[in-house]
A and B are shown apart, each in its own frame.
Chain A
Amino acid sequence: MKRRVKFSFPTHLVQEPIIFQLGKDYNVVTNIRRAEVTDVQGWVVMELEGNDDDIDRGLDWVRDRGVRVDPVGGDVVES
């Protein structure tokens, strides 16, 4: 399965190799498409590929570290 997500990093995590570890420890292929990183914060838009459970577990770990994870493209359920 593929999933498109946006990670938002707070200041203290900007320099951590979180995406690298997500790939390594959870068997998720990370494919970065767009990013903006400054000294104080950063976001990364990417595609994750792997099996659904691995992606879910990996994203739980990422969230636990303090990174915000949002779906890319916004909500599709409208009024």
Chain B
Amino acid sequence: MGFATALRCRECGREYPKEPINICEWCFGPLEVVYDHDRMASVVTRERIESGPPTMWRYRDLLPVGDGPVIDLHCGLTPLIKADNLGRELGLQNLYLKNDCVNPTYSFKDRVVTVAATVAKELGFDTLACASTGNLAGAVAAHAAKAGMQAYVFMPADLERVKIVGAAVYGPTVIAVDGSYDEVNRLCSEVADSFGWAFVNINIRPYYAEGSKTLGYEVAEQLGWRAPDHAVVPVASGSLYVKIWKGLNEFRDLGLIDQVQTKMHMAQPLGCSPVVTAYAAGVMDVRPVKPNTIAKSLAIGNPADGYYALKVIKESEGSATAVSDEEVIEGIKLLAETEGIFAETAAGVVVSALRRLAHSGAIGPKELTVAYVTGNGLKTQEVVEEDARPLLVKPTLDSFKEALDRRG
């Protein structure tokens, strides 16, 4: 029956049965899944994991699901690439990239949604919903299609057409909300309260968020059962960052890896960096901001897990870096030109933060470092569009040679 036993409030510790709720009725703190760790530890071994499927479902014992079928589009176990070219550029000899661009809907959000969809089915829901400006919408719509569930996807009305297409093609009902960002937020919370739907990042959030732990597990397994010295992770709500740390620590507690001395470095775009700002000011209170950045996938002004992310920085002796929009674009290009990986703006943020950490000496040249690349560049082509300038030629050799000369 799986090893998840209950939900527990992160603030007051009250426990709740495994139901579709995300907030403690008592203190309004966020709920988190609790597992029977002893029973889990008696079953889970490296061999058992290695003989599992070549997807993130090889870690199903550590995820909050039962024994039935899972809603899977073949998510996870994405490549961990030794990035020697980028490493040379940055002065890092032991740099790896975790490439989550190649997930079924081209971002790491498939990891959280495959868990959310599976749990939603187990809980008896027939409808999956989310509020999204892109990545999550596609992941929810695709998994609902595979599961034979209805899907409702809420988007701000001013969203670019291509982002809508990336979700609409899977056949969900797309709702374009004509209102401010805050109003869209409010509406979605109200819908989640009053319709009997599985809203993946609202009433299913405790289960959903657990999916991100697999980005910690996979990296540790792919490194030959060890944790990296450094991880560089993009932060929007802060959930991914917190869960990678949790995943590594669970692996250590289960005896699958020896120790975790990973320094967790978070990266945000300067135009939406409430967590970095709190860290820099030395406070644990994250002040919401109005996002203004090209890194739309990280534009969450009021991050649900900001406080817990700050705790992870402290616990892991990590750091927090904010980079400008220009650096985001430089980061995308640097990654593409050195490693042949076209990633979206979140990765531009990570690569530029990584560059700063390498230059400042926060990451040493020989230390084992993993940078997380969480979404595909085809989703945010507009930010590098200007650099696509083909050499225009007539269909003659002369014209072609001339063009080459002109290019210099």
Which residues does chain B contribute within 8 Å of A26, judged by CB atoms?
A: none
Report the minimum CB–CB distance from A37 to chain B (whole Å).
13
Q: Which residues of B contact A (CB under 8 A)?
A: 11-12, 22-23, 26-30, 109, 130-136, 154, 156, 181-182, 184-186, 188-189, 192, 199, 201-202, 236-237, 285, 287-288, 296-306, 346, 375
Instruction: State whether A45 and B304 are in contact (beta carbons under 8 Å apart), knowing that A68-B287, A77-B156 are contacts in the complex.
Output: no
Which residues does chain A contribute within 8 Å of B299, judged by CB atoms?
A: 79
Chain B residue at smallest Cβ distance from A78: B136
For chain A, residues 25 to 79, give those with C-beta under 8 angstroms from any C-beta of chain B.
33-34, 43, 45, 47, 68, 70-79
* Proximity string of chain A (6-20) to chain B, C-beta cutoff 8 Å, 1 when within and 0 when not: 001000000000000
A43 to B302, CA, bound (A): 16
A76 touches B27 (CB 8 A): no
Which 4 A-B pairs have CB atoms at the shortest separation, nearest pair first? A74-B304, A79-B297, A77-B131, A34-B27
Report the minimum CB–CB distance from A36 to chain B (whole Å).
9
Chain B residue at smallest Cβ distance from A5: B28
Which among B134, B135, B287, B301 is the interface contact of A75 at CB below 8 angstroms?
A: B301
Report the minimum CB–CB distance from A42 to chain B (whole Å).
10
A68 to B288, CA, bound (A): 10
Instruction: State whether A79 and B133 are in contact (beta carbons under 8 Å apart), knowing that A73-B30, A74-B300 are contacts in the complex.
Output: yes
Instruction: State whether A74 and B237 are in contact (beta carbons under 8 Å apart), knowing that A4-B28, A45-B28 are contacts in the complex.
Output: yes
A70 to B192, CA, bound (A): 19
B134 touches A73 (CB 8 A): no
A78 touches B26 (CB 8 A): no
| A–B pairs, 13, beta carbons within 8 Å | A4-B23, A8-B287, A43-B285, A70-B288, A71-B186, A72-B28, A74-B304, A75-B185, A75-B301, A76-B202, A77-B181, A79-B296, A79-B299
Report the minimum CB–CB distance from B48 to chain A (whole Å).
33
Chain A residue at smallest Cβ distance from B346: A79
A79 touches B298 (CB 8 A): yes
Which among B11, B22, B136 is the interface contact of A79 at CB below 8 angstroms?
A: B136
Which residues does chain A contribute within 8 Å of B185, judged by CB atoms?
A: 71, 75-77
A34 touches B202 (CB 8 A): no
Chain A contact-residue range equals 10 to 19
A34 to B136, CA, bound (A): 31
Which residues does chain A contribute within 8 Å of B296, judged by CB atoms?
A: 79
Which residues does chain A contribute within 8 Å of B181, judged by CB atoms?
A: 75, 77
B189 touches A74 (CB 8 A): no
Report the minimum CB–CB distance from A79 to chain B (whole Å).
4
Instruction: State whether A78 and B236 are in contact (beta carbons under 8 Å apart), knowing that A43-B285, A68-B287 are contacts in the complex.
Output: yes
A70 to B303, CA, bound (A): 11
Chain A residue at smallest Cβ distance from B297: A79
Chain B residue at smallest Cβ distance from A8: B285
Which residues does chain A contribute within 8 Å of B136, judged by CB atoms?
A: 78-79
Chain A residue at smallest Cβ distance from B299: A79
Instruction: State whether A75 and B27 are in contact (beta carbons under 8 Å apart), knowing that A8-B285, A68-B287, A70-B288 are contacts in the complex.
Output: no
Instruction: State whether A77 and B287 are in contact (beta carbons under 8 Å apart), knowing that A34-B29, A45-B28 are contacts in the complex.
Output: no
A74 touches B297 (CB 8 A): no
A78 touches B132 (CB 8 A): yes
Which residues does chain A contribute within 8 Å of B11, judged by CB atoms?
A: 34
Report the minimum CB–CB distance from A35 to chain B (whole Å).
10
A77 to B296, CA, bound (A): 11
A79 touches B28 (CB 8 A): no
Chain A residue at smallest Cβ distance from B238: A74
Which residues does chain B contribute within 8 Å of A43, judged by CB atoms?
A: 285
A72 to B304, CA, bound (A): 8
A8 to B133, CA, bound (A): 29
B300 touches A45 (CB 8 A): no
Which residues does chain B contribute within 8 Å of A47, judged by CB atoms?
A: 28
Report the minimum CB–CB distance from A44 to chain B (whole Å).
11
A75 to B306, CA, bound (A): 11
B23 touches A74 (CB 8 A): no
Report the minimum CB–CB distance from A1 to chain B (whole Å).
9
A78 touches B287 (CB 8 A): no
A77 touches B23 (CB 8 A): no
Other than the given A72-B28, A75-B185, A79-B132, 20 more pairs (CB < 8 A) read: A70-B288, A70-B302, A74-B302, A74-B303, A74-B305, A75-B181, A75-B301, A75-B302, A75-B304, A76-B188, A76-B192, A76-B199, A77-B132, A77-B156, A78-B131, A78-B133, A78-B135, A79-B296, A79-B298, A79-B299
